Amino acid sequence: MDEREFDEFYSASFQRITGQVYAMIGNRDEAQECVQEAFARAWAHRRKLDRAEHPEAWVRTTAYRLAVSRWRRTTRGRRPIDRALGAPLETAAPSENHVALVEALKQLPEAQRQALVLHHIADLSVHDVAREVGVPEGTIKARLSRGRAALAAMLADDRPGGLQEGASHA
């Protein structure tokens, strides 16, 4: 993968991967930092990435693992997460439905949350989710079913009328 191809890959997938990692971990700034770090690592391993069947999955998995590692380090050390100096970027406020969905996702077990995000937000098939996570397809189907049921209950209870059918999820 040459510089131009990598730039195109980055431009085409950075926002999408950031949104997916954000949905998995519930912190937008942390998601952006982890995705940026994952792309830096991808650049360093671009020859391996060029041979990868799904380079976006490689970056997403790396970013998610970075987020988990940071969380563990922070939890163990009880210290604030390292941040680059500078003011955070301002972005538009998320919709009420988006906030409700992210809050509900945070309450799910990690495995269910990851399966739901990869299947519904990253738009991966059950087969692809199973391959990326490293578990059988039946396990992913069970996690999706349980996660959907839990989300439906939480979203129906938390808001009058719940999250409306057809409402934006991103």
How far does Cα 141 stand from its chain's mean position? 19
Give the separation between CA 63 and CA 86, rounded to whole angstroms.
22
Confidence tier at 54 by pLDDT (50, 70, 90): confident
Lowest mean pLDDT among 37-41, 77-81, 108-112: 77-81
The predicted pLDDT at position 78 comes to: 58
Give the CA radius of gyration of the chain: 17
Annotate 26-51 with b (16+ C-beta within 10 A) or e (fewer).
Answer: bbbebbbbbbbebbebbeeebeebee
Residue 46 above 50 pLDDT? yes
Predicted local distance difference test score (pLDDT) of residue 168: 44
pLDDT (0 to 100) of residue 55: 87
Question: Mean pLDDT over all residues of the chain?
Answer: 82
In terms of pLDDT, which residue wins out, 98 or 141? Answer: 141
For residue 169, pLDDT over 50 is answered with no
Q: Kindly state the tokens that stand for 138.
A: 């039946």
